[in-house]
Amino acid sequence: MEKNNLFYSNIITVLGIESLPDDKKVELLDKIAALVERQVALRLMKQLDEASYKKFESLAEAERIGFFAQVFPDLEGVIREEVMHIKDELAGEIANDEFLNATTAE
C-alpha cells in the first residue's frame, strides 16, 4: 500500500479486522493507541536535556502532553510519524499473517 494512502487509511481496514466483534476492535484499538503514546513519549524523552527531563518527571500525567507541546512545536508531526510507522509495521505483519495469528490466539 502506498505510504500516503496508508496514513489516511482506517486502521481497522489496514488490519483487516472489520469482521471482529466491536468489543474486540475497541480492545485492539486501545492497545494500538497505548503503543503510539509510548512510542511518542520515548522518542521525545530521548531528546530532552537533563533539566527538561527532570521537569517532565515532576509533572502529573495530565500535564505531560502540554509540556511536550511547549517543548516540541512539531508534536503533531511526531505523532503522525509514529502512527504511520506503526500502521506500516502492522500492515507488514498482516501481509505475513503474523498479526492476525497473534490476535486470534488470545
The answer to whether residue 104 scores a pLDDT higher than 60 is no
- Give the residue extent of every domain in the chain: 22-104
Q: What is the reported pLDDT for 50?
A: 95
Q: What is the DSSP string of 15-70?
A: HT-TTS-HHHHHHHHHHHHHHHHHHHHHHHHTT--HHHHHHHHHS-HHHHHHHHHH
Q: What is the reported pLDDT for 57?
A: 93
List pLDDT tens digits, range 77-100: 999 999 989 888 887 777 666 555
Under a CB-based contact definition with an 8 Å cutoff, are residues 94 and 15 in contact? yes
* Residues 6+ away with beta carbon under 8 Å from 103: 17, 28
What's this model's pTM, rounded to 2 decimal places?
0.73
**pLDDT band for position 5 (cuts 50, 70, 90):** low
Q: What is the reported pLDDT for 32?
A: 87
List pLDDT tens digits, range 60-77: 988 998 999 999 999 999
Q: What is the reported pLDDT for 28?
A: 85
Q: What is the reported pLDDT for 55?
A: 95
Over residues 27-33, mean pLDDT: 87
1 vs 94 pLDDT, higher one: 94
